[in-house]
Every structure is written in C-alpha cells, then in structure tokens.
Structure 1
C-alpha cells in the first residue's frame, strides 16, 4: 500500500476537518458507569470528596453512590455486580467471596497510626461506674459488634489477646448496624465497644460513654479498611479500575491535608468539611461536624497503599476462628498489582 507524506498545509487542513467533525457532534467516548459502595462514616470522606469535586468525572467515570449500613452487605453487592467498588473493613463474608473467586482487595484505606488518635475503646457509663475502667477488665463483660466476622470482632480479639483474656470470656453482641451499637452503649445495654474517633469522641463529649483505651496501643499498624472490587473488574476492567484509584487517591490527599496533617488553609478545611457534612453527621450543626472531623480523623493511606502484613494477619485470624475456609490463600484475596504495598 502506497503512503503519501503530508505537507504542512495538508496536515493543517486535516486537523481542521477533524475539529469540524467533532464540533458537529460526533459522539465522545461515554463515561464509564460506576456504582460505589459507601457507608455514612467519616472514614468514607474521600468517596464524597471525589464525587463532589468532580474527580471521578475527570477520570471518565460516571459514579453513583450506593449506601450500606455494614461491611458484609457491601461485599455481597460487589460480588453480585450491584456495586463496582467498595471501601470497607475486611470481613468474613468478603474473604469467603474472594475464596469463591468473586472479589479482590485492591488497596488499603483507613489505617491506625501511632501518634494519631485512632479507634477509641469505650465503656458505657453504667459499666465504667461498676469498675470497667481499663480494657484489662473486659472479662465477663459484653462488647458490641456489628456482625460476627466484622472488623469490630477482630478488634476485640486483638484487645483480648493483648490483655491475656480468652475471647470466650467476653460476650459479643452482634447488633447489625453502627447506629444500633451507639444506642446500646449509650443506654448501658452493652458494656464496651471500639469505634473510630469521630464517633467515639462525640459520644464522650455528649456524656454517653467513657474512654478506657486506644486501639492503636494493641495494633498500631492495623489496616482498618480496604478497597475492593469484583474479580472481573480487577482482571478485565483495568483502565476503569486505575481511573477509580487515581480519582479516589486525589480525594485522599485533600482529606489528609485538611483533617490529619492539617496543612490545608482554613478556607480549604471549611470547603472539605462542608462536602463531608452533606453525607456524615448531617443532623449536627456544621461547626460541630467540622470539629469532629478535625479532632477525630484517622489517616487514609496515600495512593491507597495496602498494608499487606496487617491484612494477611486478618486473613489468618479469620481462618483460625473457622469463619472462612482454611484453603483461602492471600493470592485469592489480594490483587497487589494496582497500588504500593507497605
């Protein structure tokens, strides 16, 4: 086939024709539709920041937010295709679905870090007054969790292990939703709980609970939440998945600068806080919600880096407790090709 080199004038005419064709409405590539699983917690702030600031759109993604009350239902939605990406804690349900080839963890998000107030261990007022003033005294007490096999379940295991308390000496109370655990602790129906500082500090300030410890004393490198998707997305939708990670990571930088490192100026802090307030603690006055974010935010890993040691420890614990099958390997659960591992 003969090829004819274009002179400068012909090249300019060609470029002009291409521009004319575009101006007459040749369709651009449609934005990729994405359903993102979220929970109305401050730890999900980057989900909302990226949505409101157009970071997803900038990456060619048309994102809808799909709200959940707990981690396990979100994992089921990812596996079934009702949601494309999720950011939540590892759970027995998520791991089991990975064992069936349905989902993959592709990144890390919220993390415990020494020097930053992380999850707070709380006692109800009733239990505190009866002597529960330290995690060392949890034997014979009740502890709130959302579901069996949730991150709260793993956290109470780590607390018990560090204090030499057999886990079966603590009564676990699965209450399904975070709001239900808040209510049960506030009313003294359960004795203890461990929760993110944005909620824990608010409960303390309102006189509904007492602080008896910090979870970072027991697991300073705990990978609290992870980013996950379907195995099909991880394997076959690489460009879309990378675009999602880029958009989310940009929002993570905004969140950390405003609330964790506190390097953003006051106007930026207010702007980011207003975005989050639309979705989290929307029933509170803005100034209260803003202060909760400033006083109670944990770091989210830059670039959604994944703490492989922490998540592998969690996998092994779930297996040791018989909550997931013994033959599930890290390779079945984690796709480490998308982000840095730490």
Structure 2
C-alpha cells in the first residue's frame, strides 16, 4: 500500500505543476533615451510601454528625456542609456565621437526638417523663396548648412540664405512677432506655432518634398551592449515597432496614453503631433518592408550628404561602420 501511495504521490508531483502558473522570466532593465524632452511626437514609445509590449519581451524599460540630440548621442556612447533615439545626420556630424553607436532600425524615414513661416507673412512655399530669407536658426547648429546644401541641389544660391542666430526657445515667439521671416523647426512644431500666432497659418517648406532624401531619428545602440545582448535589442526593437504601429492606428488612444504618462502636456497638441508623425514615419518603403526598415542605399546616401555638406567633428563615419542589419522583425510589422 505504501509503495502504491508513493507512486500516486510521484505522479501527482508531475501533474500538479503543469496546472500552476509558470514563473515569469526575469526582466532585463533597459534605459531608453529620447532625443529631447518628452513631447507628443514621442507617443509611440510610451504606447509600447503602456500596452505592455516591452514586458512581453521580458524588458523593464525606463524612458529618459534628454537635453537634445547631442545629449542623446553622449548618453548612448557612455552607456548611461544603452539604447537611444538617435538623429542619424547628427550622428554623422559628430564623427568619431559617435563611433560607438550602431543604428539598428529607423523611426523617421524622412528627415523632419522644415522652414516654418506664417500666412499671412512670408508664406514660404517654394525653395526659391529661401534666397534672401531672414531665417532664425543657430550658428552652432549644422541645420543651416543642410538648408544651404538643399538650396544648392535645387539650383539656388545657398549663400543668400540670411541666418539669424536665435536660441531654440525664442524662435517661435520671434516668428510670431514678425522679427524673422522663417525659422528652423521640425515638422511637428506646427501646433506650437499655431498657438503662438493665432489667426495665422503655420506653413512648412518640407525639405523631403524637394529631394532631400535622408534618414533621421532612429534606434541607436551602444556597440558593446549590442555585441553582448543581441536578443535583448531584437526584443526592444520588436516591442517599439509594435508601439509605432498601434499609435498611428489608434491616435486618440495614443494621445491619451501620452498625457497619462506626461501630464504636463497639452492633449490637443499631442494629438496634432501624432498626426504629423505619419509624414515622416510612413513612406512607400515602410508600407512594403515594415516599420524600422532601413534601405542600405538610402542610409549610405544620408552619410554621403552629411559628410559632403556639413562640418564633421574629427574623422568621418561611413554608413557601413554604423548600420547593423538583422534587428527588425520578420515578418515585418506593417502600417495598419
């Protein structure tokens, strides 16, 4: 009898655990650094967090704001945050200083560069209007160099762009006050400009509409971290891309999530910024190959353009030194 009971107990020991919840896998802590303070344009990353996509990859992700592009590059290079939202042109311009960053997936597949003006006002709608334009930007930034190169490629005289050195925080107020004709801003600045200049239309001369074909903000990873944690990076990319897909398919919900996570933000501005993201995050390539996809040819073109037209710090980086393929999901995650 004892032998029989022992056999039953052993059988139960094998059966019972199968009906108990499995212990969750240990989560990996990841810090992800944005390219700036948290704004409406960053909603897809917060959607991935809120919807549990990172958790499904056994990742405990903390999203960190930054002071700007240079801060994000520095944060990833030093390992403060092993993954960051890295502007590719800025990375190229940083030269050797950014050499420890690998780009594994794109976010902005079109560069978000705009010359914003007002209507009524300068109403800049054609590249030819840049000649003689009083343009608020920064002498410390390479963006005016990009616009001058853009003018040259459109058979205009880039030297005729009149750059007025203005701090970033003062550009929108100075445009609204009529002190400059146009300002250097990302596409997503339209809601803030409309608020600052009521009764006027914010007009974007969007460089991508006139032949500037560059990658911009992308997922960049510290090289050492990538070498030692490739599957962690694949999981992060997959979860983040799911966040992009969901946010652009459910924009009101994405705006609500963003304001829940960052209550200081204005929900209407967040919602407007999400709409504007579509223009830089979805193109024909993304519709075919999925969010995050990087065309090696376009990536190389991005590096060649910046290396040829922007003052680079130290030795130059080349595209094949920076792009690390094989980290986007298969099958691809397509826009809904």
Normalising by the smaller structure, the TM-score range is: 0.7 to 0.9
Report how far residue 96 of structure 1 moved: 3.5
Q: What CA RMSD, in Å, does the superposition of the two structures yield over aligned residues?
A: 3.8
Gaps of 5+ in 1: 1-6, 259-268
TM score, norm. by length of structure 2: 0.75
Give the whole-Å Cα distance in 1 for the aligned partners of 2:127 and 2:45: 33
What is the CA-CA distance between 1:18 and the residue it aligns to?
8.5
Cα distance, 1:44 vs. partner?
2.1
Contact 2:214–2:301 (CA under 8 A) maintained in structure 1: no
2:75 is matched with which residue? 77
The match for 2:117 is 123
Alpha-carbon distance, 1:224 to partner: 2.9
The normalised TM-score by structure 1 is 0.74
SS class of match (1:306): coil
- Counterpart selection for 1:304 from 278, 283, 292: 292
Q: Distance in 1 between matches of 2:305 and 2:138?
A: 18
Moved more, 181-190 or 64-73: 181-190
Structure-2 separation of matches of 1:28 and 1:215: 48
Query: Where do 5+ consecutive residues of structure 2 fail to align?
Result: 1-6
User: How far apart are the structure 2 equivalents of 1:103 and 1:296?
Assistant: 24
Shift of 1:79: 0.4
Q: Secondary structure at the match of 2:30?
A: strand
Which residue among 62, 65, 68 is the counterpart of 1:64? 62
Q: Do the aligned partners of residues 33 and 252 (structure 1) sit closer, same or farther apart at CA in structure 2, a change above 3 Å counting? A: same
Matched, 1:182 2:172: yes
- Within 5 A, what are the aligned runs for 1:259-338? 269-278=251-260, 282-284=264-266, 286-287=267-268, 289-294=270-275, 297-300=278-281, 301=286, 302-320=290-308, 321-325=310-314, 327-338=316-327
Q: Please point out which of 178, 193, 211 is paired with 2:183.
A: 193
Alignment of 1:156-235 (within 5 A): 156-157=147-148, 159-173=150-164, 175=166, 177=168, 179-200=169-190, 202-204=192-194, 206-207=198-199, 210-211=202-203, 213-219=205-211, 221-235=213-227
CA distance in 2, matches of 1:201, 1:135: 23
Distance in 1 (CA, whole Å) between partners of 2:253 and 2:98 is 42
Does the 8 Å CA contact 1:145/1:181 hold for their aligned counterparts?
Answer: yes
Distance 1:208 1:182 in 2: 13
Instruction: Return closer, same or farther for 1:331/1:296 CA change in 2, 3 Å cut-off.
Output: closer
Q: How many residues align?
A: 313
Aligned position for 1:33 = 29
Partner SS for 1:298: helix
CA deviation map 1:251-289 (0-9, x unaligned): 01112223xxxxxxxxxx4322211334679443x3454
- By how many angstroms is 1:154 displaced? 6.2
1:56 and 1:202, CA in 2 relative to 1: closer, same or farther beyond 3 A? same
Q: Distance in 1 between matches of 2:139 and 2:327?
A: 29
- Shift in Å at residue 163 of structure 1? 3.3
- Is the Cα contact below 8 Å between 2:300 and 2:318 reproduced in 1? no
User: What is the match of residue 263 of structure 1?
Assistant: none
Q: In structure 2, do the counterparts of structure 1 residues 97 and 339 end up closer, same or farther at CA, with 3 Å as the change threshold?
A: farther
